[in-house]
DNA sequence: ACTGAAAAGGGCACGGC
DNA sequence: GCCGTGCCCTTTTCAGT
């Protein structure tokens, strides 16, 4: 019974759903009343749609976005990682290590010549070195190189609708 | 009067503030009552702290996080861009173009050999090609190469506290 | 899909530590 | 100063129509 493995249910979204999602992914700290006015619906219709969208897993959750600079995390760094070990044991260890480190926001296994791309947020170079030391001491990595963000031109969690 | 340009006020954060922020950046859809219990404070003390943290700009806002897969955006791509034009006019144009495209979540000017790194979310290869066409037609780019995400090991908006 | 009513939660002023 | 309590008003939630 592996037939259903790759089947994915896509909920039908109309223009109003999209408008609701669009607003909420920009700012969800808004009353149902105001949201209703924006999308042209009663507060209640909005409420029921949001409930459905949440239950369908389209809305993953609501979070507060924090200001990295104000928290003293001025440096964003992308770390490129190459490995010579491709066994599942190594992968699990690498995943666990990166998921545990709170400085790391994203870890992606990539196509192409580099194996993994890591996005992290640190205070400064010294702090980056800490992260580097922790990372390389918990898993063996063949090649690690870092690129630092000089300027953040765009940074959003909003997806296209 | 350029002396104050780089001055930044860091608000003193105690352990309770950190606990509040930690909870809210994981899930802000929680009542002040519950939050108070978690951090060991009354609902009102929480409320006042959150208000201060927002006014200080430490909390940038509250947003709904959407499920990219459920929206049919299965492909995450990192686009490396090199340019030969470094005049401010080109930069402004590039910034405007990337900020306008909703498929693009992040644009970073980098140190090192590549100039810009772009993170985007698209449906599939065809959709990526659309994005590529739009991007290259609105600004002149010397070199563009894409790396596709095979597996997302970690992806969070939570910053270390 | 709207109305309305009960329940929950947010916002604010005051008093206490 | 900062915390907590009590009160009121807004918002959410969910019934019925």
CB contact under 8 Å between B152 and A107, yes or no, is yes
Q: How many CB atoms lie within 10 A of CB A48?
A: 12
The distance (Å) linking the CA of A122 with the C1' of D7 is 45
Tell me: pLDDT of B141 over 60: yes
**Tokens standing for residue B149:** 């995400």
- Provide the shortest C-alpha distance from residue A1 to chain B (in Å): 23
CA distances, A110 to each of A63, B14, B48 (Å): 27, 39, 44
- Asked if the domains A3-55 and A75-148 are classified in one and the same CATH topology, the answer is no
Mean pLDDT of B44-65: 96
- pLDDT tier for residue A109 given thresholds of 50, 70 and 90: very high
pLDDT in tens, B96-130: 999 999 999 999 999 987 899 999 999 999 999 99
Mean pLDDT of A101-106: 98
The distance (Å) linking the CA of A32 with the C1' of C4 is 16
Indicate if CB(A47) is under 7 A from strand D.
Answer: yes
**Tokens standing for residue B116:** 């810009």
Tell me: pLDDT of A5 over 70: no
Question: Which phi and psi angles does A61 have, rounded to 5°?
Answer: 165, 180
Mean pLDDT of A95-112: 97
pLDDT in tens, A38-67: 999 999 999 999 999 999 999 999 999 999
pLDDT at A112: 84
pLDDT at A28: 96
Tell me: pLDDT of A23 over 80: yes
For B72, nearest residue in chain A (alpha carbons): A10
| For chain A, domain boundaries | 3-55, 75-148
> What is the distance of C-alpha A59 from the center of its chain?
14
Residues of A in contact with B29 (CB under 8 A): 61-62
CATH topology of domain B75-148: Alpha-Beta Plaits (3.30.70)
Cα(B19)–Cα(B13) distance, integer angstroms: 10
Tell me: pLDDT of A95 over 50: yes
Tell me: pLDDT of B6 over 90: no
CB contact under 8 Å between B148 and A110, yes or no, is yes
Nucleic strand D contact set for A 1-40 (CB, < 7 Å):
31-33
pLDDT at A11: 75
- pLDDT tier for residue B1 given thresholds of 50, 70 and 90: very low
Predicted TM-score (pTM) of this structure: 0.91
Residues of B in contact with A154 (CB under 8 A): 95, 98-99, 104-107
Q: How many CB atoms lie within 10 A of CB A84?
A: 10
pLDDT at A84: 86
pLDDT at A9: 55
pLDDT in tens, B15-30: 999 999 999 999 999 9
Mean pLDDT of A111-130: 95
Cα(A5)–Cα(A40) distance, integer angstroms: 38
CB contact under 8 Å between A151 and B62, yes or no, is no
Domain A3-55 indexed as CATH 1.10.10.10: yes
Tell me: pLDDT of B86 over 90: no
Give chain B's mean pLDDT: 93
Sign of CA dihedral A100, A104, A105, A106: negative
């Amino acid at each position: 019974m592996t037939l259903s493995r790759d089947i994915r249910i896509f909920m039908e979204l109309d223009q109003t759903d999209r408008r609701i999602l669009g607003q909420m992914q920009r700012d969800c700290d808004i009353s149902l009343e105001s949201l209703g006015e924006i999308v042209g619906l009663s507060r209640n219709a909005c409420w029921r749609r949001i409930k459905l969208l949440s239950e369908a897993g389209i809305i993953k959750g609501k979070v507060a976005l924090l200001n990295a600079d104000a928290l003293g995390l001025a440096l964003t760094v992308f770390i490129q990682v190459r490995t010579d070990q491709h066994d599942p044991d190594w992968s699990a260890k690498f995943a666990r290590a990166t998921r545990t480190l709170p400085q790391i926001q994203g870890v992606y296994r990539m196509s192409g010549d580099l194996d993994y791309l890591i996005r992290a947020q640190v205070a400064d170079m010294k702090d980056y070195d800490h992260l580097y030391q922790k990372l390389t001491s918990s898993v063996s990595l063949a090649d690690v190189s870092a690129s630092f963000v000089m300027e953040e031109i765009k940074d959003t969690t909003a997806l296209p609708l």
